[in-house]
Structure 1
Amino acid sequence: MMLLFDLGNSRAKWATWSAGSYAQTGSVDPCGPGWELQLQQQLHGIAAPERVLVASVGSLQVLTAVHDMTSSRWDQEPIQLEPEAMRCGVRSAYAEPAQMGVDRWLAMLAAWNRFQSPVCVFDIGTAVTADVVAADGRHLGGLIAPGIALSQSMLQTKTAGIRHANPEAGVTLGQSTGACVANGCLLSVAGMLRMALELMERQCGPGGVPVATGGDAERVLPFLPDSCAHIPSLVFDGMLLAARDK
């Protein structure tokens, strides 16, 4: 059995991998009070893993806490995965591959290896990323923007008189400032992702596969093509691929 940790900015997720499937999963808010105790409680009763894999774009404090927890509980030194110039057939477009968020990198590895065709990988969470990988595994580049909640928060913080509101049913033209902001932030994300698909088609031709993951993916999926594959485990899938020969 392997224990996997995907440590993000707003969620610290974990999963166990055994006999070809994810046996147990959980998550905590690493910014919330008592998150370490919550994580320990979720992991209670889990047998000692053969390997512990960690992918982190969160704070060093959270990474250190998870490292200490696994080391003390199971005497298991975690393997920390990092972005690379090339892995599993995918070649990074970055001149300095280490500057890419490891979650983006792992999601690309998983998506391209799964479909073996041009893919546009959407990770829709605190930030929203879109990355295009060509049929031959070349990462052609990507886009990054604030996520839905972060965009709303920025407007509420920097602009007077704007209150939080959820998108109205059907995401139509808002009839209050809060609804206008909520609908606009959601549709701005959807618009960026649809533009990323156009860029993929320009460079790769038709037939590319859009792939979505991340905590807010379900909110955006209605505005994406029906062909968009929703794979919540995409980063975990990439971790398993990247760790095969480590």
Structure 2
Amino acid sequence: MLLAVDAGNTNVVFAVHDGQEWRGRWRIATRADRTSDEYGVWLLALFQHVGLSPAAITRCAIGTVVPAALYNLRRLAREWFDCEPLVARSGLDWGYQIKVDRPMEVGADRLLNALAAHQRYRGPLVVIDFGTATTFDVVDGDGAYLGGVIAPGVSLSIEALHKAAARLPRIGIGRPQAVIGRDTVPAMQSGIFWGYVGLIEGLVARIRAEHGSPLKVIATGGLAPLFTEGTMVIDHTDPDITLDGLRLLADRNPTPIFHRTTLPDTLKPDPD
């Protein structure tokens, strides 16, 4: 079985794939100082809850945009599952071209989204990921990654409003009943929700015009279903895009060899 680890700025998602389907998904808040033992004790309790054995894990793939978290996630794979993890980075065999100026700087999540979206939906497409940042990633008809757009995430915008304006409260995100808010909170909710709908529709229109051909639009991330309700430009909502990208990447690349006799050396922090 494959243990897939998607470490984002807000949450780390762990998932197990048995070759046919995902057997479980669990998330924990991202903390760069969280130790491998903390991850291990927490994760094995969840394994037991769904009837999974840690001995069944034979492969591990990690995708992270938080370099400081990688050290302990690697230790988790080595110490708790006796396997060397495959770490998603631009130098691996992705099965497509990365047509940007600095491939090494592209977040692993964006490359994983491009890989899985092309595999599942084909055709030129845009993947919108509603994470800590809201990203728009463009993939051509051959699956090549062409770059994209990075905008502040919804939660970041809400927090910025609350912190920068003394009289504005912290609000939850939801679809307001009306665009014109008749009180402070409804007005803020309208600005966030319909403002992001306008962002989505405006950027997709400009991306399509610049690309010069129709593009399918795929949405992922926790808030994708909410915003899909507010616009017609999103064609599909897919919560498993990043995890499927890790699975596909692990299938394309050789499983790294883990030597327990060299464990102390391999646990030194990576320079990257």
Q: TM-score, normalised by structure 2?
A: 0.80
- The alignment status of 1:123 with 2:129, answered yes or no, reads yes
Residue type at the aligned position of 2:227: V
- The alignment status of 1:50 with 2:50, answered yes or no, reads no
| Residue of structure 2 equivalent to 1:161 | 167
State the identity as a percent. Answer: 25
Distance (whole Å) between structure 2 residues aligned to residue 105 and residue 137 of structure 1: 11
Q: How big is each residue's C-alpha offset from its partner over 1:158-179, in whole Å with a ceiling of 9 and x where there is no partner? A: 2211102234633522222233
Is this contact kept in 1: 2:135–2:150, CA < 8 A?
A: yes
Aligned residues: 244
Match of 1:146 among 145, 152, 161: 152
| Residue of structure 2 equivalent to 1:38 | 42
Residue type at the aligned position of 1:149: S
| Residue of structure 2 equivalent to 1:191 | 198
Closer, same or farther: CA 227–194 of 1 in aligned 2, 3 Å: closer
Is this contact kept in 1: 2:175–2:226, CA < 8 A?
A: no
Distance (whole Å) between structure 1 residues aligned to residue 156 and residue 226 of structure 2: 15
- The alignment status of 1:240 with 2:247, answered yes or no, reads yes
Is this contact kept in 2: 1:16–1:25, CA < 8 A?
A: yes
- Point out where structure 2 has 5 or more consecutive residues left out of the alignment: 255-272
Which range is displaced more, 168-177 or 109-118? 168-177
| Residue of structure 1 equivalent to 2:89 | 82
Closer, same or farther: CA 205–170 of 1 in aligned 2, 3 Å: farther
Distance (whole Å) between structure 1 residues aligned to residue 95 and residue 117 of structure 2: 11
The structure whose RCO (Cα within 8 Å, separation 6+) is larger is 2
| Residue of structure 2 equivalent to 1:73 | 80
Closer, same or farther: CA 27–176 of 1 in aligned 2, 3 Å: same
Closer, same or farther: CA 77–245 of 1 in aligned 2, 3 Å: closer
Deviation at 1:26, TM superposition (A): 0.9
- The alignment status of 1:224 with 2:231, answered yes or no, reads yes
Residue type at the aligned position of 2:132: T
SS in 1 for 2:242: helix
| Residue of structure 1 equivalent to 2:11 | 11
Residue type at the aligned position of 1:16: V
Distance (whole Å) between structure 1 residues aligned to residue 21 and residue 33 of structure 2: 31
| Residue of structure 2 equivalent to 1:107 | 113
- Point out where structure 1 has 5 or more consecutive residues left out of the alignment: none
